[in-house]
Amino acid sequence: MAKKRGQNEGSIRKRKDGKWEARVTIGIDPDGKQRRKSLYGKTRQEVAIKMADLLNELHNGTLVDPTNITVAGWLDEWMREYKKLHLKQTTYINYVGHINNQINPILAKYKLIDLRIDTIQKFVNELVKRDLSIGTVQGALKVFKGAIRQAFILGMIPKNVTTGVIVPKYEKEPRKAFTPEQRDSFIDIAKDTVHGEVFILKLFTGMRIGELLALRWADVDFEKTYLHVNSTLNLTTDPDDPESKWHLSFGTPKTRSSIRTIPLISSAIKLLQRIRGKQAEIRLRLGAGYEDNDLVFSTGLGKPLNPRNMQRTFQRICRKADLQGFTPHSLRHTFATLGYAQGIDLKVLQEILGHANINETANTYTHVGIDTIRQEMKKVEISANF
């Protein structure tokens, strides 16, 4: 018969995803079941050190009793041990924002074990009363649900208290797309605006702004007339490090489906050739003063462009073109909507846009204009004499 692992004992194993996990028995529940804690790391040595620290806490009696841990304490541990290694940095920052701005101000001091369904319902209701967007409320609840689910799995709480909570319905504001005339007007202004070519290529390809700013000349094949999307540029920081400052960082695209190849229309080829020609002139003029990062879009010194600055550039173009109520993402929406209206297959659009599933393409980016609907209605025309 296998020996039960007692308190102050632990084990280490390598997971299928390549990470290492240490498991330590930290106590016994009233019903006699073992309470175990998992620790994660990139190497065996890393988790061995974590396990030794935890065993030392157990030995010295300094480990916090799970029945006394607060919501704030558990969220901190959950983020550190269960999320940081598994989330993209931008998503991790988003989680931290929800915890700091919505969850902790209301629930931080509650003991995890004392939470009830009505506690969580009042939390959601309070967020709604604060006139936050429904998207923000749902985002905060999604983060909190994840933390509570993990606590339930670990046996820290007897039931998942987020089950049964009523959440306000979230109806997305319909995204606006340019008409063909508005698109042409935008391009006419953007082509003579500093860095406006970023947004023109966005209209030609449907790429995300981070993907465009990370695009390198090595990703563009002029002979075969396509480009590869395999990187993205984000403004990021480490919210767990008080010394960390916001900085530009290259990373992998949003999802596996976002890594893709996009064929280029002739106008896109001409645009890229124009950009490359202008860069060659700048590089020749500046010599060693030009920082060659092989980026298609860069500052006058060859450095990466800041996404926040590009937002201001976009709004400046819109003001000159007398276009109101649009965002940079409207260009991606325009590409998809006008492309769909011109007969591009929905599955093809999904591949070009880099969506993980076709429903996202169909539900988000394929707004059908009244002119298209009118043309389609002619297919069911019925002749009648009245």
DSSP at 239: T
For residue 7, pLDDT over 60 is answered with no
Task: Quote the percentage of the chain above a pLDDT of 70.
Answer: 87
**Percent of the chain scoring above 90 in pLDDT:** 51
Q: Assign domain 1-63 to a CATH class.
A: alpha beta
- Band (pLDDT 50/70/90 cuts) for residue 6 is very low
pLDDT of residue 169: 75
| Domain 180-375 grouped into CATH 1.10.443.10 | yes
Q: Give the three-class secondary structure for 107.
A: helix
pLDDT reading at 2 higher than 60: no
Q: What are phi and psi of 239, to 5 degrees?
A: -65, -15
pLDDT at 1: 40
At 4, the pLDDT band (50, 70, 90 cuts) reads very low
* pLDDT tens profile 29-54: 556 667 777 888 889 988 888 888 87
Least confident of 86-95, 109-118, 239-248: 239-248
Token pair listed for 125? 């209701």
Beta bridge mates, 295: 216
Q: State pLDDT tens for residues 298-342.
A: 999 999 999 999 999 999 999 999 999 999 999 999 998 888 888
Query: What mean pLDDT comes out for the span 154-167?
Result: 85
Amino acid 257: pLDDT: 86
Q: Are 268 and 215 in contact (CB under 8 A)?
A: no
Whether residue 174 contacts residue 183, with contact meaning beta carbons closer than 8 Å, is answered with no
Spatial CA neighbour of 155 closest among 4, 9, 31, 7 = 31
Instruction: Out of 124-138, 184-198, 355-369, give the one with best mean pLDDT.
Output: 184-198
Q: For residue 136, give the nearest of 98, 192, 96 by alpha carbon.
A: 98
How far is it, in rounded angstroms, from Cα 143 to Cα 162? Answer: 11
Q: Domain locations in the chain?
A: 1-63, 67-166, 180-375
For residue 65, pLDDT over 60 is answered with no
Top-confidence range, 31-45, 160-174, 279-293: 279-293
Query: For 170-220, how does the pLDDT look when each residue is reduced to its tens digit (9 = 90+)?
Result: 666 677 899 999 999 999 999 999 999 999 999 999 999 999 999 999 999
Going by C-beta distance under 8 Å and a sequence separation of 6 or more, which residues neighbour residue 249?
A: 89, 233, 234, 235, 236
What's 67-166's CATH class?
mainly alpha
Predicted TM-score (pTM) of this structure: 0.70
pLDDT for the residue numbered 170? 65
